[in-house]
Chain A
Amino acid sequence: DQQVKQNSPSLSVQEGRISILNCDYTNSMFDYFLWYKKYPAEGPTFLISISSIKDKNEDGRFTVFLNKSAKHLSLHIVPSQPGDSAVYFCAARQYNTDKLIFGTGTRLQVFP
């Protein structure tokens, strides 16, 4: 049972344009959502998070939007840069636990 889903395995975006990565979830008990970026042969790097009581959080070029009614969140990267090329994982924490449930990832490629 995949509680966190990233339905797009890959995304290709031109440098300078916006990258939008999507994530859907099924569990209403998730209280925090996090985005991680991962390069090959490295560990995931924390990017940005959002509490379930908010609908938007922004940090520099990264903005996460949360739509609770649709159980959907998205990560916007503006402007996209070649160094953003990596696999992006969406993760969620269930209320009153401390484990993260990860999606399967979306591979972003930013081309010049």
Chain B
Amino acid sequence: NAGVMQNPRHLVRRRGQEARLRCSPMKGHSHVYWYRQLPEEGLKFMVYLQKENIIDESGMPKERFSAEFPKEGPSILRIQQVVRGDSAAYFCASSPYGQAPNSYEQYFGPGTRLTVT
């Protein structure tokens, strides 16, 4: 049973470019979460999605950031016009939501390290 997959693992973008991060959840998981970790900090929630639906985007910056989880294919976190402050590790997690008894547990991918130059 493959774990959560993220690609690319490392991404370098110049200021003003777009960054596109992909996440494929674990098999059987239909719920995806995105978190961001800045250096020397804990993970901060960004957005929670299920297929074709954003459930909670309370942690997403209002501008330049968007996320989707289409019916087919991976979830994508898109950052437009990147700035140096966007440099961070972005982690995706998935959960077996609704599948008792541990539907609240989230399983993380290896992360994408975004560097903005």
Whether chain B is bound by chain A comes out as yes
In the complex where A103-B42, A104-B41, A104-B42 touch, is A97 in contact with B107 (Cβ < 8 A)?
Answer: no
For residue A36, CB closer than 8 A to chain B, the reply is yes
B residues near A44, Cβ cutoff 8 Å: 43, 91, 108
Beta-carbon contact of B108 and A98 below 8 Å = no
In the complex where A34-B105, A46-B105, A93-B104 touch, is A100 in contact with B45 (Cβ < 8 A)?
Answer: yes
Residue of A nearest to B102 (CB): A49
Beta-carbon contact of A45 and B42 below 8 Å = no
Bound-state CA distance A76–B7 (Å) is 34
Interface residues on A, range: 20 to 34
For residue B25, CB closer than 8 A to chain A, the reply is no
Beta-carbon contact of B108 and A49 below 8 Å = no
Residue of B nearest to A48 (CB): B105
How many pairs of A and B residues are in contact by the CB < 8 Å rule? Answer: 63
Interface residues on B, range: 20 to 34
For residue A89, CB closer than 8 A to chain B, the reply is yes
Beta-carbon contact of B43 and A102 below 8 Å = yes
For residue A101, CB closer than 8 A to chain B, the reply is yes
For residue A32, CB closer than 8 A to chain B, the reply is yes
Bound-state CA distance A104–B97 (Å) is 26
**A residues with CB within 8 A of B:** 4, 32, 34, 36, 41-46, 49, 89, 91, 93, 97-105
Please list 24 pairs of residues, one from A and one from B, whose beta carbons are closer than 8 Å in the complex, sorted by A's number: A34-B104, A34-B105, A34-B106, A36-B108, A41-B113, A43-B6, A43-B91, A43-B109, A46-B105, A49-B105, A89-B42, A91-B43, A97-B56, A98-B55, A99-B45, A99-B48, A100-B45, A100-B106, A101-B45, A102-B42, A102-B43, A102-B44, A104-B42, A105-B42
